[in-house]
Amino acid sequence: MTSIVTVTLNPTIDVFGEAEAVRPTHKVRLGGTTYEPGGGGINVARMIRELGGATTAIALCGGEMGSFLARLLTEEGIALQPVAISGQTRVAFMVRDRSSGLEYRFVPEGPRVEIADVEHCVAAISLHREGYVVASGSLPAGAPSDCYVRLAKAAQRNGLAFVLDTSGEALRAALEHGGLFLVKPSRSELEAYSGGPLDETGLAREAQKLVEAGKSRFVALTLGADGALLASPEGVLRLPAIPVPVRSAVGAGDSFLGAMVWALTENWSTADAFRLGLAAGSAAAGNIGATLCTREDVFTLYQRVHAC
């Protein structure tokens, strides 16, 4: 079985509930409250586990909430390699207003970390000798912009394929380092990297330029309601969105990435793995709250996109 390691530098406990109406000043009482392990790489690991894959999640964990995160992951059957930090793992809140159907998301910055914490993640990656490392999520406070470069170098030293989903200066630094296996920017993230707005042709051109320049072997560009495109050494594959009622954006991009990487470890073609990723992202968007989609949801939608 091909090894998959995920890395989350700023994980969360995602608390979700529903209210009759969200109003200022008044107490907003919630029903259907759930507690889910969250954050970029954690959600990637959860999607892989749902599809039947095995993964090890490396995550910075601190305080009582860090212990709670570990317990939630254990209950889901996900192996955790915790890296202890002095701060408290953050707690994010999502509230669905039943009266309007709108979802409100409150995401704290999270604990400040030290460079030594990041180096402990580098050391944890160095214990693995084959497979994939998937790093996903924003950088926590205090983390230098080259964090993902450090992780990529550790993976590359051991012959591991490095997969990245992040934004801003962290994305720029990793792309400038180059040699990534797969990167998954959104439209706005690619436009920020490229320096301005891009039309359909420009998006495909810029994604393909990253491949040709050796920045990343594959670029999976997610475009929300406009679908996604995959740039590879073979060219560009463009797929439309799968029509689903969008109920939440939580974990959609991570579900896309987790499903695509899982399919690659199962020796699917890159194009079919990309299709499965699109199906998983759409399935996650159709769910309410922080609960990710099921394997059945993903493969039902995959049948619809497979003809594309």
10-residue stretch averages of pLDDT, the chain, 308 residues long: 89 96 94 94 96 96 97 95 96 94 92 96 94 96 96 97 97 97 97 95 97 98 94 96 79 94 97 97 82 90 80
The closest alpha carbon to 90, from 116, 117, 113, 62, belongs to: 62
Secondary structure class of 35 (helix, strand, coil): strand
Determine which one of 117, 146, 165, 254 is catalytic: 254
Secondary structure class of 129 (helix, strand, coil): coil
Chain segment 241-280, per-residue pLDDT in tens: 888 877 777 778 999 999 999 999 999 999 999 999 999 9
Query: Across the strands, what pairs with 163?
Result: 134, 182
The closest alpha carbon to 210, from 234, 178, 186, 256, belongs to: 178
Which phi and psi (to 5°) does residue 163 adopt? -115, 135
Measure Cα distances from 194 to 2, 180, 183, 202, 233 in Å.
Answer: 34, 18, 15, 10, 20
- Structural contact between residues 266 and 12, judged by C-beta atoms closer than 8 angstroms: no
The closest alpha carbon to 218, from 226, 210, 41, belongs to: 210
- Structural contact between residues 173 and 146, judged by C-beta atoms closer than 8 angstroms: yes
Using the 8-state DSSP alphabet, how is residue 2 labeled? -
Beta strands in the chain (DSSP E): 4-8, 12-19, 31-38, 56-61, 79-84, 90-97, 103-106, 132-136, 161-165, 180-183, 216-222, 228-232, 235-239
Q: What is the pLDDT of residue 307?
A: 63
What tokens does 126 get?
A: 């160095």
Q: For residues 223 and 188, what is the distance between their CA atoms, to the nearest angstrom? A: 9
Angle at 222 (CA atoms; ends 219, 228), nearest 5 degrees: 85
Q: Does the predicted model carry a pTM greater than 0.85?
A: yes
Q: What is the pLDDT of residue 304?
A: 86
Active-site residue flag, 254: yes
Q: What is the pLDDT of residue 290?
A: 66
Q: What is the pLDDT of residue 305?
A: 81
Query: Across the strands, what pairs with 95?
Result: 17, 104
